Amino acid sequence: MGKVKKTKKFGAVKRMIQASDPRLNKGTVTEKKQKPETEVRHVDKPSSALFFKYNTQLGPPYHVLIDTNFINFSIRNKLDICSSMLDCLYAKCTPYITDCVMAELEKLGAKYRVALRIAKDPRIERLICSHKGTYADDCLVQRVQEHKCYIVATNDKDLRRRIRKIPGVPIMFVQQKRYSIERMPDAFGAPRT
């Protein structure tokens, strides 16, 4: 005897169960389905600072929001924050640090006292937070959504993923013992495409 050949059935389609199927609602009598009320969707209005995908509010002197781990990576790689930003962007930069980031550095304790001392440098300006809570990532994302004039300096993967969803906001990070920047084509450390 020979082998039984199995052939594909060309007309076979998976059958979908419908929403009005009585098997879905066990024990209840199905009634005619009414139209759902129209939901009002909230669509964010695009910022007037964006011209296609480019942010027109970015320009020298650049305003850079610094995150906690960016300071720590700068210390590990022995980089001075202000001079390394100048080398990356070829323009004057004003680093900013929020109250939430300062609170996060203070909570980390004595192990990060060098980072706290660098954060209190007079060249780095403080921004006052007016929201509840001290979670620095939410604070930075909220500030960037409100004002499109900032570059965010962070090495945190989750924060970078969240900021990439916001159009027109460049991200600065430490890579190969120097600062690099993404989503800003004019900068020195920008990846070439």
pLDDT beyond 80 at 3? no
Domain that holds residue 119: 60-182
β-strand 62-66 against 50-51: which pairing, if any? unpaired
- List all residues 6 or more positions away from 92 whose beta carbon is below 8 Å from its beta carbon: 60, 61, 62, 86
Please indicate, yes or no, if residue 51 is contained in any of the structural domains. no
CATH code of residue 83: 3.40.50.1010
For residue 188, what pLDDT is reported? 56
- State the pLDDT at residue 16: 76
Task: Report pLDDT digits (tens) over 7-32.
Answer: 766 666 667 778 787 777 765 554 55
**What single letter denotes the amino acid at residue 150?**
Y
Domains in the chain, number:
1
Residue 32 located in a structural domain: no
11 located within any domain: no
Query: How many CB atoms lie under 10 A from the CB of residue 22?
Result: 10
Assess if residue 114 is contained within a domain: yes
pTM of the model: 0.72
Is it the case that residue 94 has pLDDT exceeding 80? yes
Give the Cα separation of 47 and 50 in Å (integer): 6
Cα dihedral 23→29→33→37 (10° resolution): -110
**Cα(first)–Cα(last) distance of the chain, in Å?**
62
Task: Report the distance separating Cα 26 and Cα 192, nearest Å.
Answer: 59
Interatomic CA distance for residues 95 and 102, integer angstroms: 13
